[in-house]
Structure 1
Amino acid sequence: MLNFLLLPSKKKILKPLTAKVHQLIKEFLPPLSSLDNYDFTAIENNIKLRKTTGDLELIKSLLKKLQNADEGEKERLMLELKSELWKLPNQTHADCLNYKNEPKEIAQFNKMPNEEVIKTKEFSEIAKKMRILRTEHLGNFTGHKSYYLIDSLAEIEHALIRFATNYLKSKNFNIISVPDVLPSHIIEGCGMQTVGKRTQVYRLNSLEKCLSGTSEMALAGYFKDKILKEEDLPIKLASVSRCFRAETSGLQEEKGIYRVHQFTKVEMFSVCSKDQSDNILNLFKNIQIELFAKLGIHFKLLDMPPSELGAPAYRKYDIEAWLPGRKIWGEISSCSNCTDYQAKRLGIHYKRKDNTLEYVHTVNGTACAVPRLLIALLETHQNKEGSVQIPKELQIYLNKNEICKNLKVPELKLVKQIDWPNTS
């Protein structure tokens, strides 16, 4: 583990501060021996490496103001200081520092599909020919990047969910159903901004409520302000939820349902002790490999560089599947060790056997993100005659071994919205 130490500076920046301020800084900055002098270089370098936000000059300014502020002003400054400290990224695993801006490929799994045997088609072409997908002419009533999964494609969605959740239950995960609407402070406590031009979060009008981008946020919020027992850790949870993302992409390789505003996902989440999080991350990574290997798709495991970690992750693994119809690698999953980053912001502790309190560590991972897995499955398992072979692991949930053209599809009539004159 890499510790970013704050080294003494030649120039004195701060005078001694109150114990309350000292405690606040200790929670969000690396261990300090003294509050008298700081060198913020290591933290600044970490911000640049990870390409995240963090205004160290403002933090220094607020610390200076706190020295001479009266009691009423101190409360306001403390809130502002805490808000700025929240924006700082997590520390970074030492191994990741060697990757610069490129991920390290760890391994590849399953054989590359033999694209010479058949003329490989892209997912949308396969699905539309079978009449099991609708993505066009939906803007009038469902908006941009909407989609309908029809008949066999909808059945495969449910089969994937059951396949993933049953597998997680066999690994002693507890299944939990979570809300899709969350307070903004829970989402921000998990490390995602809810305001600003580049936010991925749907905010509900002027309310302090947002649509959840992943069940990880609700699962972390479930433990907010709790003190757990060390002997009860790790806790492993799995959840099926709809995920809402405000951003989409105009890139050709991300067309169709590759990047959409909402989708179904099976998520893994754990709260654990600081000594357990590395092992839990490896467990999640291995579960993902086992799940995707059973589906017969060709994929690779990547250890991600600092620039791809976002703010919360200490270390993150991505899994990319080969999409033969598009002839590109596409991300289908990731898992992250967030150490105590989220726990500090949500107040989640555990009591050790000696009765001392520690912040828990949180780990998350995607077991099944439906749209991209559908793309990988249909493009990988398409046959010469136009049908698609269903992997054996999913056949038990579908009672069939392949999908063909859907001959009966309900007609979708588009209705133009009319603005009637106000006669009142």
Structure 2
Amino acid sequence: MLIVQTKIMKNFTNMFKMYNKFTRLYSTFPKHFPEFNFDYLCNENNFEHIKNNIEMRKGVGDIAKVCQLYNDLLNKSIDSTRDKLTNDLNEEAKKIPNETHPDVRKYGTEPKIVKFINEAPTYTDKTYKPFEFSQITRKLHILRTDNLGNFTGHRSYFLIDSLAELEEALLKYSIGNLVKKGFSLVSVPDILPKYLIESCGMIVAGDRPQIYSLDEFHHGPELCLSGTAEMSLAGLLINTTHKAETLPLKMAAVSRCYRAEASSTSEEKGIYRVHQFTKVEMFGVCSPNDSDALLEEFRQIEEESFTELGLHMRVLDMPPYELGAPAYRKYDIEAWMPGRNMFGEISSCSNCTDFQARRLHIKYIPRNQSASEFAHTLNGTACAVPRMLIALLETHQKPNGTILIPEVLRKYMNDETYIKRRKAVPDLKTVKLV
């Protein structure tokens, strides 16, 4: 056990070393960060619109309180309470969600189905009932989720042999597609300042935080495990100003993602919702006039990539209630999972307009101008491994117990055509740690 603990601490040490490389960059936060558009937020003509937008988007945020604090600050002389008012104003303004695309405001609480892609799998034997992912992997001996609670915690898993190879194949396939489309590949840290994660729109406090804090391991700036590479990529561009002719910036990263997920539904059992997984992320920066088009480009990249994997999918334009705080518009792609008899989300892409850019000071200089303006940021999931594995195995299972490997992945799997049953996985209770 001591050896295991030593290995864990070494991993954390390496992660902190990577964090330290970014310390100088992140230490450049302005004192009163971020820069909100109070001329818009506190204009009485916009009050009802903003209030309605908050109500549509889970009701988080109090525009009346923001306006009150703003007016108090304007009327306050410079004294000992001014800094507190400024901090209170910024804290309340952080809670106000992004604007919502006019079309999306009309959807109510239900998403709009944009399209269906590919046909659902059919079987010659009409009596064949597709197996669920956990059943398939148990028969093939390529996944382990039991007996892990003693040292890796709930919602943990081991991918074994061909399933681990399939994970690597998906990563190489996804990255290869993005590099061909002009994305720059970036290797990112997994430990980030709490402030950066908050600025990107994830919840880090309260009853249901979305991420893990590392305060107990580290004394100093508040640090957290990254929930997605989007945060690191956004942090890489903090306090930067770009020439219009250099935009759009398109970056991609492979990273481990850490989520404090909580779910007890049977549909989300197994590796559908886990605490740690690997993901390929897209991130973009562009001018405000180009962000709608770049979102469509991100969506098309996802659709093309998943289409070649032979998945039956539906594309959803998500309603305000499902956008989260940063997104102006968000598309989800759901794959049909025959064993579960349901569509499950495998990907999303979002246009965050200037929500993150204002918090991180990401700007650009329009052509023929000297003054800078806030850029728009976007993100999209090129491949989230666990759910992609579920969709692939349930879609391509054969009655003889094998799994057909999509043709585009075979070159990454020794040109194998099928995943077949392997020898039984050793019982973890009998494995001796040396």
Name the TM-score, length of structure 1 as normaliser: 0.89
Q: Distance in 1 between matches of 2:401 and 2:76?
A: 75
In the alignment of these two chains, the number of paired residues is 393
Q: Which deviates more, 66-75 or 287-296?
A: 66-75
- 1:263 alignment partner, SS class: strand
Unpaired runs of 5+ residues, structure 1, are 1-22, 417-424
- The residue aligned with 1:76 is 84
Q: Distance in 2 between matches of 1:249 and 1:236?
A: 34
Structure 1 residue aligned with 2:417, among 390, 395, 401? 401
Q: Distance in 2 between matches of 1:299 and 1:30?
A: 43
- The residue aligned with 1:63 is 70
- The residue aligned with 1:294 is 308
Q: Distance in 1 between matches of 2:59 and 2:379?
A: 20
Name the TM-score, length of structure 2 as normaliser: 0.87
The equivalences for 1:85-96 within 5 A come to 85-96=93-104
1:53 aligns with 2:67: no
- The residue aligned with 1:189 is 199
When residues 328 and 29 of structure 1 are mapped into structure 2, their CA distance, relative to the original with a 3 A threshold, is: farther
Q: Distance in 2 between matches of 1:63 and 1:219?
A: 32
Query: What is the deviation of 1:275?
Result: 1.3
- The residue aligned with 1:150 is 160
Query: What is the deviation of 1:296?
Result: 0.3
Greater Rg by CA: 1
- The residue aligned with 2:145 is 135
| Paired letter, 1:83 | E
Q: Distance in 2 between matches of 1:24 and 1:132?
A: 48
- The residue aligned with 1:31 is 40
1:210 aligns with 2:217: no
Structure 1 residue aligned with 2:273, among 259, 269, 275? 259
| Paired letter, 1:43 | I
- The residue aligned with 2:169 is 159
Q: Distance in 2 between matches of 1:56 and 1:79?
A: 16
| Paired letter, 2:91 | S
| Paired letter, 2:184 | N
Contact 1:266–1:367 under 8 Å retained in 2 = yes
| Paired letter, 1:386 | G
| Paired letter, 1:50 | R
Query: What is the deviation of 1:59?
Result: 1.7
- The residue aligned with 1:341 is 355
| Paired letter, 1:27 | F
| Paired letter, 2:196 | I
Structure 1 residue aligned with 2:282, among 268, 280, 283? 268
Structure 2 residue aligned with 1:386, among 381, 384, 401? 401
- The residue aligned with 1:230 is 244
When residues 291 and 30 of structure 1 are mapped into structure 2, their CA distance, relative to the original with a 3 A threshold, is: farther
Query: What is the deviation of 1:29?
Result: 4.5
Greater share of helix: 2
Q: Which deviates more, 231-240 or 114-123?
A: 114-123
1:180 aligns with 2:195: no
Contact 1:46–1:91 under 8 Å retained in 2 = yes
| Paired letter, 1:179 | P
Residues 255-307 of structure 1: per-residue CA shift (max 9 Å, x gap): 00000001000000001111111111000000000000000010010001000
Contact 2:36–2:93 under 8 Å retained in 1 = no
Residues 71-93 of structure 1: per-residue CA shift (max 9 Å, x gap): 33212211210121111000000
Structure 2 residue aligned with 1:44, among 51, 67, 70? 51
